[in-house]
Amino acid sequence: MTTAHKPALNLGLGAAIFITAAAISAVTLHFKPSLVSGLQALRTSKVPSSVCNTIATDPSPPLNVRSSPVVAPDNVVGTVRNGTHLAVVDRNEGWLRINQPLEGWVYQDLTVTSCIPAAQANASTPAVHDDGMSLLAEATEQYQAGDLNAAIALAQTIPASSNASQAAKGAINQWQRDWKTAEATFTEMQAAIGERRWQDVLLKVQAFPDNRFWRAKLTPIVKVAIQQQNGH
């Protein structure tokens, strides 16, 4: 190699190192919480203590899969149906990165995860088909559609041996609490409308449970309150 080529080579190597360092810094800054938690996990345990199963349970299906962990109008790369099993490979501030059935990010609150001890998952006993998570997703859809009793009945059919058993019990308790709150709040909002207390109506919306059926019933009342408050 001649001396004349060395400066160019050194310049090329310097640029490559700079670009690589910048890229690593950008990734580290953007995904720092996930990166740190991942490194801590590697240090503390080489063998996973549990095996988790995650499915889509969007109250307004289908579940959006996004190219980045942020809600934006132009970053939806696809959708998945409720009950679909998601292969989670990373987490970042309330978001899950998946690589199956699509690659991208989903909002964690729109999924349900159930975990079992790794030793149990790796046991040599024959695998038993478990429909629990799919049943829970179907029950969640019934709840969102407004059929609380059917949702509870279906969730209660999930056997105690299912990986989704504990999640189902928790969901039933949450549904019952939210349904009771929605009924009481809706009655209070109707009374406020009758008494022309428009601001009270709008304030109660903020604490209203996230249920598609009740939100649909709520929409006309809220529209009236907004119109009246604006003097229309």
Query: Per residue in 52-109, pLDDT tens?
Result: 778 888 877 889 999 999 999 899 999 988 878 888 999 988 899 999 888 999 998 8
Residues 78 and 96 in one domain: yes
Distance CA 104, CA 222 (A): 35
Residues 27 and 84 in one domain: no
Among 80, 95, 125, residue at a domain's last position: 125
Q: Return the pLDDT at 47.
A: 52
**Structure confidence by residue, pLDDT tens digits, 3-53:** 444 444 344 444 443 444 444 344 333 434 444 444 444 444 445 566 777
**Structure confidence by residue, pLDDT tens digits, 166-189:** 888 988 999 999 999 999 999 999
Q: What is the mean pLDDT of the segment spanning 134-153?
A: 90
**Minimal CA–CA distance to 98: which of 155, 230, 90?**
90
Does the pTM exceed 0.75?
no
Residues 53 and 30 in one domain: no
Identify whether 2 is part of a domain: no
Residues 194 and 218 in one domain: yes
Three-state helix/strand/coil letters over 142-209:
HHHHCCHHHHHHHHCCCCCCCCCHHHHHHHHHHHHHHHHHHHHHHHHHHHHHHCCCHHHHHHHHCCCC
Residues 73 and 99 in one domain: yes
Q: Are 131 and 157 in contact (CB under 8 A)?
A: no
* Number of independent structural domains in the chain: 3
Among 59, 93, 125, residue at a domain's last position: 125
Identify whether 110 is part of a domain: yes
Identify whether 36 is part of a domain: yes
Residues 72 and 118 in one domain: yes
Q: Beta strands 76-80 and 50-56: pairing type?
A: unpaired
Q: Return the pLDDT at 148.
A: 94
Identify whether 141 is part of a domain: no
Q: Is the pLDDT of residue 228 over 80?
A: yes
Identify whether 57 is part of a domain: yes
Q: Is the pLDDT of residue 141 over 70?
A: yes
Q: 129 falls in which pLDDT band (50, 70, 90)?
A: low
Residues 23 and 85 in one domain: no
Residues 38 and 104 in one domain: no
Q: Return the pLDDT at 75.
A: 92
Q: Which domain holds residue 99?
A: 47-125
Residues 68 and 102 in one domain: yes
Identify whether 70 is part of a domain: yes
Q: Return the pLDDT at 120.
A: 58
Among 86, 110, 125, residue at a domain's last position: 125
Identify whether 169 is part of a domain: no
Residues 34 and 76 in one domain: no
Residues 76 and 25 in one domain: no
Residues 38 and 63 in one domain: no
CATH number of 92's domain: 2.30.30.40
Identify whether 193 is part of a domain: yes
